[in-house]
Structure 1
C-alpha cells in the first residue's frame, strides 16, 4: 500500500499536509504509511482512499498491474466491441474506452450517464445520435458533449470503425456543477 498511496497522492497534486487535512490523520502518520513503516487500520485506509478518491481495495492490492501508469497495446484489444483502457489504473478521473460500434444503433438500456463524454473517430466512419440529432463523423473527427443527454453510435460504411471514447463524471459547466 505504501508506494501506491504516495503515487496517487502525487498524481493528484496533493501535498502530505493536504492529505492530512482531508483525512483527519496526522502528517507524520501518513508519512509512515507512505514509507511502509505503518499499516493503516481499515478505518484509516477508508479515510485515505476517500481523500484520494480511489477504491480502498486498490490501495491494498498486491497486484503489480495496479498502478498509476498504464500502457494499452492494440494487440491486447482483440475483437471486443468495448475495451476499457487502463482499467487497473489507480486514481483515474476519466474512463477511456476503445469502441467498435455495430451497424445498428444499440438498444442500450442506459443511453445516458452523468458527466461529459469525448469521442475521437480513429478509423472508419460513424453516426452519432445525440439527443435525437444524427451527425456523421469520419476518421479524425471528434465530438465532446454532456453525457446526460441520450447518445449512441453506429458504424457506417464498409470499413470497421474504431472510436476512442473518454467519459468523465464531472458535470458539464452550468449543468449542476462548478464552472
Structure 2
C-alpha cells in the first residue's frame, strides 16, 4: 500500500511527546482490504495517532477467534507483539509459533504472516509495527 498503518488514524499531529490516556483512548479500527476481509478478526486501538513523523505504530489489538481461514499479509517493516491476555498463534512463513500471556515475538513483516487467537477466547496484545520512512 506504500503508507504506514496509522496514516488513516492521524488526527491533529503533535511534534513533542504524545501521552495517550486510557480514558481518552481512540476508538478501535479494523483494517480490512476492499478485496478481502483480511484482519477482520482484529480490532486495533492506536496508542500514538497524534505523534507527527513517527515510524513506529503502537497498537492495543483485540484478536477474536476465527472459524474460517484468514489471509496472510506481507509488508515492508518489522513487528513486535507482546501477549497481554489469552494466547495467540503467529503463522510466519512456514513456521507456527504459539504464544501465551507474557510471551513476545519480533519479526520481519516482509515474510508472509498471520496472527490469530490461540483458542476460543479473544486475546489482547500490544503490537508495534515499524515502517521505514
TM category, shorter: 0.5 to 0.7
Q: CA RMSD in A?
A: 2.9
Aligned pairs for 1:11-90 (under 5 A) are 65-67=12-14, 68-75=16-23, 76=25, 81-90=43-52
> How high is the TM-score relative to the length of structure 2?
0.68
Q: Which structure dedicates a bigger proportion of its chain to strand?
A: 2
**Whose radius of gyration is greater, 1 or 2?**
1
| SS of aligned partner of 1:134 | strand
> How high is the TM-score relative to the length of structure 1?
0.52
Q: Structure 2: give runs of 5+ residues left out of the alignment.
A: 1-6, 30-42
Partner of 2:33: none
Runs of 4+ off more than 6 Å: none
Q: Structure 1: give runs of 5+ residues left out of the alignment.
A: 1-54, 171-179
Q: Which structure dedicates a bigger proportion of its chain to helix?
A: 1
Partner of 1:141: 103
Task: Give the Cα–Cα distance (whole angstroms) in 2 for the partners of residues 107 and 161 of structure 1.
Answer: 16
Aligned pairs for 1:71-110 (under 5 A) are 71-75=19-23, 76=25, 81-104=43-66, 107-108=70-71
Aligned residue pairs: how many? 109
Partner of 2:114: 152
Q: Describe the shift of the 1:106–1:114 C-alpha distance in structure 2 as closer, same or farther (beyond 3 A).
A: farther
Matched, 1:124 2:124: no
Q: For 1:122-174, what per-residue CA distance to the aligned partner results, in whole angstroms no more than 9, with x for missing partners? A: 1110101111321110111000011100111111234431111111124xxxx
| SS of aligned partner of 2:91 | strand
